[in-house]
Structure 1
Amino acid sequence: MSKSKIIDILDKIILSCLILYALTFLLDININFLTTAFIFGIIKLFFIKPKIKIYSKHFYFIAFFILCTFLSIIFNNIPDLTITSNLSAYKSRFISPLIGILILFLFKFEKKHILLFLSTLSFSLLINAIFIIYQVSHDLSGRLVGFASNYMLLCVMNILILPIIFSLALYKSKLSNKLRLFYLITVLINIPAIIFENTRIVWIALSITYFIIILISLKKKKIILLFISAIVLCCYILFQNSPQSFDRLTSITNISYQNQSNYERLLMWQSATNMFIEHPLFGVGVGNYHEQYTNNYRSPYSREDQWHPHNVLLAMLSETGLIGGISYILLFIYLYYNTVITYLNTKSISSFAYLMCLLAYSINCLTDSMFCGHNIKSPTNFFWLFTGFYLILNKYIIISYTNKKY
């Protein structure tokens, strides 16, 4: 078999794994198709070497973030905390998710591949939303998740994916009308599903990003007003017919002791702040939050056993101190700065869609730890993958191959 034939086969396998990943990301299955695609990409390096040109500072800030969080492990002075256990948690939460962006150097992503991947994600969310609506029609209530393995995974994946496909649906572009209609249908059917999922930060994040997307994408004021009014009226009717969702909505600003969810967050934020104050430089150690919280920092008023502080910045500061916290802040400042500048200069749909994704994700990170966080790793994988798509589509990364076919 010729070298070019082997490379073709490997590329088809990698693409197939990515599509399977997009189809199954909500399910609790043992096979990680993104990792599988990455492994086949490594095998591909034995046959062909890519030529890579990078025209942004993204990887400097990512490397700085990874280095600083690693230093917090080396110089941590928490008694009885072993470097081995720290490194295991560090690898799982900070290193492994980078597969999402590193795979860009192993497979030549073109616009058609990215659209295929996004369309498959859209299909998965559409089917899941339809199933949630079906559950509601059969009088099920609570934190409905459809086929998803847990509600927090579904929460953050909605926040990462829906702003992108809504941007693609409304923003003026060269996409086919059929594809844009498919994305729009996915977004609209997910509106009732998201209300019935009863995750308040998703409501807030998507309300803000959807408003911005409609405002910037649609040019005629009457159409903007009609679109927003239709969504608001739809949401009003849905909330009026779902007492549990309405109660969740009215509880957003309630921080009394009776509102356990909100009050508990205040307590854990205070606990995380105390950890940072007492261990300002390197924190209490990556993966050591729960032990320190349980043994030393838990409030006597707390009614929950928490593994993270439900806020990414406080998670970084409490576990990695100023060293890790500042590197996280600088990373996201640069991500915003670069994306905004790119959008202002090019008005490209990819920069606008990524900016909306970044904004929604940042809002989610205010009340949860879904970036390099404990337990659920997929959101960080997807975040790095979408960041890579943004870099590819805006030609911040250009990859070519020595083989003429490539």
Structure 2
Amino acid sequence: MIQVLSGVWALLVGIVLIMLGNGMHFTLIGLRGGIEGFSAAELAVITSGYFVGFLSGARLTPRLIRRVGHVRVFAALGSFMSAGLIAFTLLPEPWAWTILRVLLGFCMSGIYVAAESWLNNAATNETRGKVLSAYMIAQTLGIIGAQGLLTLGDAATAGLFIGASILVSISFAPILLSATPVPAVEVARPMSLRDLFAGSPLGTAGIFLLGSIYATQAGMGAVFGSQIGMTASQIALFVAMLFAGALVLQYPVGWLSDRVDRRKLIFGAALLGATSCGLGWLAGSGMAPVGGGGLWPLMAAAFLAGGVTTPLYALLLAYTNDFLSAEEMPAASGGLVFTFGLGAIFGPLATGWAMNGFGPFAFWPVLGATFFVLALYALYRMSQRAAAPAEETESYLGVLPTASVVAVEAAGAWAAEQAEAERQAQDDPA
């Protein structure tokens, strides 16, 4: 593993720094928005703006890279992102923040495409799985570490936004100084939603619902904490718990994924997510001040609800690939990323509307209901199609929901290669 990482360590360091800055900004929106008096509905629109930009960037960045190259696109998007982070404190208005979030979402999506292209080019068929796993861990650690940095300053001042901007700015140094030129990004034309749904109804519907869940957790978690009176440190811990659970649960879910009917695992993980949301809602209904005994049940609920979200994303990708040919996988990857983006736009809007009308603790019922719908649909699909034999399924590889289509395509190709190698080994044990 050390030998594998020696060739990509600079890229991974850069990714950690980017995620530190981006992770800080996600939570800062909720913290500073509460200080500015923004409503939950306004912050929901601001949150959704990020994913509108993210979806646009996923479509347009490959064209920009083909036109002017990785380095120029990467540097330009980084500059815009760094400037956008500082601009939040200069324009404390919901409409301005929405525009800035669209810009940041576009920039981050493009940065992912460029960085993942370099990363994928640096890997071989033998090392691609380990490189992508290291990339996932680096991203997650960056997001969690960002929450710790938030405790070092005051969200009411410009300091934390400036700090996030600095982290993003310096993150490009190790990447640009170490990355070698790579061929222009060739992203397959996304499969239509109709064809994708026909091939894997559960995969398509599940990815859409999971987009709603992930965006709500990442974007509205800090808003929820701010509105129920959590301190800045408690909010940072709450958001960190949403992502820390993924590091713990990713491996056991992946291990089970290659051994049991994946629909049963999707059902079980979604049901656990729904149950943990119920725990969060019950903990809140009995809480007087947030500092009371209900705080830790809230943290446990965040750990479990967030913990199943990322593994579910990779699980749904793997399940969808089980019913596709190797030639269809690249196009399906683009379709799934697009479907996830659509869910990510609508999820925070629904949650913000509910929180605005029914109070901040509506955060949990909306999340729980979405998990529950996913669980029920998985249960329904079990009655409609026979399970694929475990030995014929594609291998599981953890992929973050924020990954661009480049990483999703690479993960799918790796999974198909691994599964084929395992089948050949079984057919020819000698």
TM-score, length basis structure 2: 0.29
Q: Rg bigger for which structure?
A: 1
